[in-house]
Structure 1
Amino acid sequence: MKKLLLSCLLFAVGSGAFAQGSCATAVNITANGTFTAGTVNGTYSNPCLGGTTTSTGAAIKARWWKYTPTANGEITVTSDLAANPIATTDTRLSILKAGTTTACTGMTCVDYNDDVDATPGVDNYRSTVTVPVAAGTTYFIEWDNYWASTSFTFQFTFTAASCIRPGALDFYRPDSYTTTSASLYWNNAIGSPASYDIDWSTNFTDAEGTGTIVNVPAGTTTYTQGDISGLPESLNFRYFVRSNCGATQSAWQGPYYGYLAVTLPYSNDFENADNNYTDGFIGFSRTSTDDTATPPIYGDGDTGNFLYTFNSTTADSDKWGYSRAISLAAGEVVTINFKTRLWAPDPDAVSEMTLDVTVGDAQSTTAQTTVLNSIATSDDTAYTDQTAEFTAPADGVYYFGFHNNSVAGATQTYMFIDTLDISSVLSTNSFISSKLRVYPNPSSNLVNISNDVNATINSVEMTDLNGRVVKSLNVNATNGQVSIADLATGIYMMKIKTDQGTAVKKIVKE
């Protein structure tokens, strides 16, 4: 988002403050209308956006209004008006719900908006939100001066409705991905509709109501789970949700996005706008560069998008990023390649950072229990190739994690991540897998390997179900023998490399 010209900021500071405002002294709105927000210079408190300082480092200030509807419905608050010149208006808006103890204590975030459309060339930095509201509940409207303190006009509109859509922040990340299905979640809407309609499409530009519509009953707790299936394999999809009240339906809420599990190979350079750039990767932030920064940011003599995470100067880091869902077959041998590079404003003061590559069955810290590789880097000269390997113990959907667990650094340092590439060798290499025999299996001592096509066995590697290598040996013969007497009882994956291909066999140690 742009910052207004320095002259505008200086004018706002020098023009003096209007009456101070705070949640406790919020102006009460009793009817639809247009209001003037004078110089934004009141007390700031915000569970939506947090923070304490503006883009220039000064303390954030705010102006407050409040509204208590007498019926269920929706309110729209907008500064996207002709009275506010698009070239000089830069606002930020939050809608908060009153707390349960006192109105201004324990407020919760309902929705917020920074820019109507920050697309280069459009540059509409005004703000607008439409939110569902419940009768008898007080809602606060907070405008802050994160970008500018200048006066502007906003419009408030309440519309009563009996069938109300879920709020924009009531949706949760989809999960339970397969290559053709997913589970979607959202909080139940005000008014407790009997069911909801989901509209999904693999075309991101399809308007709401024009895709495949699925009706699901409302959840019996505070949220609803909507399952969709029969989607085209491994594609991305957009979806909208509306309340279905029987005789009437609400407006659609969305769009939101889902990313079905993909089979390998898979790559993502974070450059494709049609895939929302990140293509289902979550956790780390995305940014772009034209490579004109000093010191240079991209480092490959190029421009483009990349992800980033950063260290702390006061405590160890604990920041996570996760790949989209990856569908793997039992024994599939996976290689994860990507690039990293460090950057600090002072190129002579870069702190070392560490990143663990992990694997699990969900995009969560508790699911990512297996570390595939630990990377420590202090390289800020160019992008460095990084790699990790994993053998899938069973058919299923997996997610690869990237854990920034850097120790506290002397200076603020950023790690850039780019060009993610995940490939594999399938255990279903039908020819060599069918020609290799491993016996006895189960076994408590020795496992023999033989074949009837004269394939030369080059090497054998065994991993446990966490992907850790527990035994490896060179064979260089058409037959081989592996002792597993020293291994603990359990299941292992035996990767057999031959001159005619690679196969993976499941071995049971008794």
Structure 2
Amino acid sequence: MKKLLLFTLLSIGINSFAQGGTSCAASTVISSNGTYSIGDLTMGNYPTGTVCFNGNQSPTPHARWFRYTPSVAGILTITSDIAANVAGADTRLSLLSGSCSGPWTCVASNDDVSGSNYRSAITNVAVTAGTTYYILWDNNWEDDNHSFDFTFTAATCFAPSTFYLPEYISTTEANLYWDQSSPQPANYDVDWSNDFSTPVGSGTMITASSGALAYSSANIASIPASTNFRYYVRGNCGGGDESTWAGPFYGYLPVTLPYSNDFESAANNYTDGFVGQFSGPFATSGTSTPANYADGGAGVAMYTFNSTTAQSDRRAYFRGTQLASGEVVTISFKTRLYSETTVSEMAFDLTVGNSQSAAGQTTVIQSFTNNSDASYITHTATYTAPAAGIYYFGIHNNSAIGANETFLFLDSITLDTNLSSNNFNSSSANISIYPNPVNDILNVLSPDFELESVTITDINGRIVKNVNANNTRKEINVSDLNSGVYFVNVNTVDGSVVKKFIKN
């Protein structure tokens, strides 16, 4: 995380184990599993080039070096997330291969274990026999000495190490993707669950073929609509030879509107599907710097920052939304600036597209600027979906070079729609549909006016049911409909209203 945004930290003493070397050539050799002292990070050579991270934010970059050469293939786990380090310890870890003269290859890296845990860990990284790996701890955030645990386990079957964002087919279906393990297993086991707390091995198990491509994939379907899920993947080499599990990884199915995200739900991993190059979630409190900086005070927010040497180019993306053709969305979010000195103006675009990627964000909806740190500012824009489908809204930080390092905090996202409220006579406001989501029977209730007819259409505008009514309540059997999103056009003697529901 950014060094400005830290809780008060305590130093720990140096333990009895050998400290890291101050250069690649003088790197400390690790010969066994155990706990090691990183060493005083006010000294040590930081490698030239970006390697795993985009440079070093410290004005005097330093690093401590270790090296390990396995005699057989296996997996490495390296972590500073241990009891020997204080909870606020802020480390940054790189695992490199190559030679001291370069070039380097970044094998794995980690800055923060989570949005509120600034220690670092890389787990179950596959390594090959005879290759020398360099473990690098740098002073990007702190100069203090901390400790780390090193564990090597011999193995012949390996889990994938590179995963991609899920591809969401609908509100109930997703494809998962990862690069093939090496050596390539016979197939892969995938364990998924809608309950994040379900232990690995206790979820829904499916088998994915390894195939002939450079990547493998798995399809999970019939998921409860618009829910979240976690998943693990392991290599299955046959004959009982299985790798460790890689994961957990998380998926966030597209939602129907209205939708809001204030980054306060631990059950939704705080982000609730907000991904990209913004940092966080950042838990602000009375002792954080800045203090109580979430919208409304203590709480959680996301943030990005400018550069004092180049124009910014950092993107983040909202969770996907399932929209109908012509559906009008009102997008609202709040931002606030922070700087240790005087804030520099921050500029950003609200974008939309068909994926959570820069290439997929094809439309700029509206451009904004923020130059005040006095309070949160609400930004609002509207977008009309040209066709039915899944859409992703994004924020593109494209701020010009700033005179001072400045942070843009983001909080309180709200997406509303013309289909989530009544669009006709105000007297239709009491019309309700329930339950929602529904399995079998959908109830339509109009206590003030008699119903005339009820029409149900799918997200593509096709009529799937059309029934007459002559009472204030109508029961409609929807058990024969496929899972997904539908719209109900309720006609009364006083007017009409459109409602949205989810069929499980």
Q: What amino acid sits opposite 1:111 in the alignment?
A: A
More deviation, 408-417/21-30: 21-30
Amino acid at match of 2:310: A
**What is the 5 A alignment of 1:207-222?**
207-222=199-214
How far residue 501 of structure 1 moved from its aligned partner, in angstroms, is 6.1
Shift of 1:212: 0.7
Matched, 1:140 2:138: no
The C-alpha deviation readout for 1:375-417, integer Å capped at 9, x for no partner, is 2333332222221111111111000121222233333333222
Aligned to 1:259: 252
Q: For residue 23 of structure 1, what is the aligned residue in structure 2?
A: 24
How far apart, CA to CA, are the structure 2 residues paired with 1:293 and 1:117?
Answer: 16
Cα distance in 1 for partners of 2:411, 2:235 equals 40
* SS of corresponding position for 1:366: coil
Letter in 1 for 2:272: D
CA distance in 2, matches of 1:381, 1:409: 18
Q: Does 1:230 align with 2:227?
A: no
Q: Which is greater in Rg? A: 1
Rounded to whole Å, the distance in 1 between the matches of 2:88 and 2:420 is 59
The corresponding residue for 1:178 is 170
Change (3 A) 1:319 1:297: farther
What residue is the counterpart of 1:166 in the other structure? 160
Report whether the alignment pairs 1:206 with 2:198. Answer: yes
CA distance in 1, matches of 2:235, 2:77: 19
The answer to which of 334-343 and 230-239 deviates more is 334-343
Describe the shift of the 1:25–1:215 C-alpha distance in structure 2 as closer, same or farther (beyond 3 A).
Answer: same
Deviation at 1:291, TM superposition (A): 5.5
Matched residue SS, 1:355: strand
Deviation of 1:239 after TM superposition, in Å, equals 0.5
Query: CA separation of 1:245/1:172 partners in 2, compared to 1, >3 Å: closer, same or farther?
Result: same
Provide the residue aligned with 1:344 in structure 2. Answer: 339
Q: What is the aligned partner in structure 1 of residue 65 from structure 2?
A: 63
1:298 to 293, 297, 309: 293
TM-score, L = length of structure 2: 0.72
Map of 1:256-295 to 2, 5 A cutoff? 256-283=249-276, 284-286=278-280, 287-290=282-285
Q: Counterparts of 2:163 and 2:343 in 1: how far apart (Å)?
A: 39
- Distance change (3 Å), C-alpha of 1:265 and 1:188: same
- Residue 485 (structure 2) aligns with: none
- Structure 1 pair 34/407, CA: closer, same or farther in 2 (3 Å)? closer
- Letter aligned with residue 190 of structure 2: I
Q: Tell me the distance in 2 between the aligned counterparts of 1:295 and 1:27.
A: 38
Cα distance 1:184–1:2, how it changes in 2: closer, same or farther (>3 A)?
same
- In the alignment, is residue 318 of structure 1 matched against residue 305 of structure 2? no
- Distance in 2 (CA, whole Å) between partners of 1:144 and 1:300 is 33
Task: State TM-score, norm by structure 1.
Answer: 0.71
CA deviation after TM superposition for structure 1 residue 63, in Å: 2.5
State the SS of the aligned residue for 1:176: strand
Distance 1:302 1:397, change over 3 A: same
Q: Cα–Cα, structure 1 residues 326 and 104, in superposed 2: closer, same or farther, change >3 Å?
A: farther
Q: How does 1:7-46 map to 2 (within 5 A)?
A: 20-30=21-31, 32=33, 39=40, 41-45=43-47
**TM-fit CA distance, 1:133:** 1.2
Deviation at 1:274, TM superposition (A): 0.8
Q: Name structure 1 gaps, 5 residues minimum.
A: 433-498, 504-510
Q: Distance in 2 between matches of 1:118 and 1:304?
A: 12
SS at match of 1:274: helix
Q: How much does 1:325 deviate?
A: 0.8
SS in 1 for 2:25: helix
How far the C-alpha of 1:161 sits from its partner, in A, is 1.6
Change in CA separation of 1:411 and 1:97 when aligned onto 2, cut-off 3 Å: closer
2:434: which partner in 1? Answer: none
Is the partner of 1:171 in helix, strand or coil? coil
